[in-house]
Amino acid sequence: MFTDRVKIFVKAGDGGPGALSFRREKYVPRGGPDGGNGGRGGDVVLEVSNQLNTLQDYRYKHHFAAPRGGRGGGSRKQGKEGGDIVLLVPPGTVVKDEEGKTIADLVELKQRLTVAKAGRGGRGNASFKTATRQTPRFAELGEPGESRWLWLELKLIADVGLVGLPNAGKSTLLSVASAAKPKIADYPFTTLEPVLGVVGLDDESSFVMADLPGLIEGAHTGAGLGLEFLRHVERTRLLIHVVDASAGDRQRLWHDYEQVRHELKQYSAGLARRPHLVALNKMDAVNDASEVVAFRQKLVKLRRRSFPVSAATRDGVQDLLWAAWRMLERGKSSPVAEPLPALKVYRGPTTAEPFTITRVDGGFDVSGDQLEKLVAMTDLTNPEGLAHFQRRLDRWGLNEALGRHGARGGETVRISGVEFIYDPQR
């Protein structure tokens, strides 16, 4: 099955805890603190690989976590770093956050994007030694690694996309133009997933063409296979609009043509302006050629190039393909759309202020990225560690801010799920 949209959860590795240790060695009096820092955790990285052409690997497995960093040791030993995990994705993968905002467009081989950044290792007690604090008896815990849900969407990278109503003969056209073997049958929606084929005109002239599921009315709202289809059309540089020339008179041909154009325009104005050719397919089955001629004359007035072809007999197919190749060559100097630059590291939204105070039943909730990180890295069971934590809060002005919000002594203050008792006198 072709999988082109998945939701995954990524968790970077937490940093390892710092060591609480003192140098104990013969003939070395007052050895002092020598606890080493914890190791850094592992990042979660997306990398573009040509080994994949779908997102099938993420259809059933959705959770990915990098290893955490190792614990620091005595003698100032650094903890082992957690290794990064690299998730391979096919070219053309668009990365979005949980709200659907685009983070990066991954199109180049070996392109990498860090989607969850590892936590740093906690500092050992040797790092807290100062002139006035010679024997610190506390160390930091590791910083938590980032975690988030992501949407991965695949937009196929093809030069030419075949568009048209179901059963217009797109699959047959691709099969005779390339070595691709799409499913072909005499009923609508035979093609349920995109099929790529390389069209080789000669030793130096070729392009990639995609057969995509047919459009029906309302496709831009998701009817039929609409949204899945249109997502892939966005990436193409040229469209070949396949019309079933045997479907009826000039009015019917025009109706079929306009229906597809309307769906493209409703989905994206830019997509509707994409260069396109019209392939009048199934000419071998046309009863009244004058109706096709009249339809082509109407297209000429709109400055649309059309080609009568028969995929079944291959008549006219080469003329169509060469015309497509020449249009692609002319358009190389002006690409359709610049892909979004891949960000090296995606950090997600952060709050600019150290904390935000909210009055709730029974007390106050205090939130903020820096504050929550401080709580996570503090060993609250260690009296000296707790005192160091309190000094950091005092420097940030949390006590005064709570007083300005009307906090009274004895009220509960919750920070990152941990409850404290407010004391205005300290």
- For the chain, give every domain's residue range: 1-153, 160-331, 356-421
User: What is the pLDDT, as a whole number, of residue 226?
Assistant: 41
Superfamily of domain 356-421: GTP-binding protein OBG, C-terminal domain (3.30.300.350)
Q: In this structure, which amino acid lies at residue 282?
A: K
CATH of 1-153, one of 2.60.40.10, 1.10.3470.10, 1.10.10.10, 2.70.210.12: 2.70.210.12
Residue 257 gets the label, from left (phi > 0), alpha (psi -120 to 50) or beta, of alpha
Using an 8 Å Cβ cutoff, are 126 and 135 in contact?
no
User: What is the pLDDT, as a whole number, of residue 334?
Assistant: 46
**Residue 20: both structure tokens together:** 């609480």
Q: Is the pLDDT at 135 greater than 50, yes or no?
A: yes
Q: Is the pLDDT at 388 greater than 80, yes or no?
A: yes
Return the H-helix or E-strand segment holding 250: helix 250-267
Short-list 156, 152, 154, CA closest to 10: 152
Q: Kindly list the distances between the CA atom of residue 358 and the CA atoms of 167, 363, 394, 400, 414, in Å, as whole numbers in the listed order.
A: 60, 9, 19, 15, 10
The mean per-residue pLDDT over the stretch 127-151 comes to: 94
Summarised one tens digit per residue, pLDDT across range 24-43 is 888 888 889 999 999 999 99
Q: Is the pLDDT at 335 greater than 50, yes or no?
A: no
Q: Is the pLDDT at 189 greater than 50, yes or no?
A: no
Q: Between these two residues, 272 and 321, which has the higher pLDDT value?
A: 321
User: What is the pLDDT, as a whole number, of residue 64?
Assistant: 98
CATH architecture type of domain 160-331: 3-Layer(aba) Sandwich (3.40)
Using an 8 Å Cβ cutoff, are 380 and 418 in contact?
yes
Q: Is the pLDDT at 113 greater than 50, yes or no?
A: yes
Q: In this structure, which amino acid lies at residue 152?
A: L
Q: List the beta bridge partners of residue 88.
A: 47
How is the beta sheet containing 85-89 ordered, strand by strand?
85-89, 44-48, 112-116
The mean per-residue pLDDT over the stretch 144-163 comes to: 88
Q: Is 34 helix (H, G, I), strand (E, B) or coil?
A: coil
Rounded Cα distance between 71 and 368, Å, is: 27
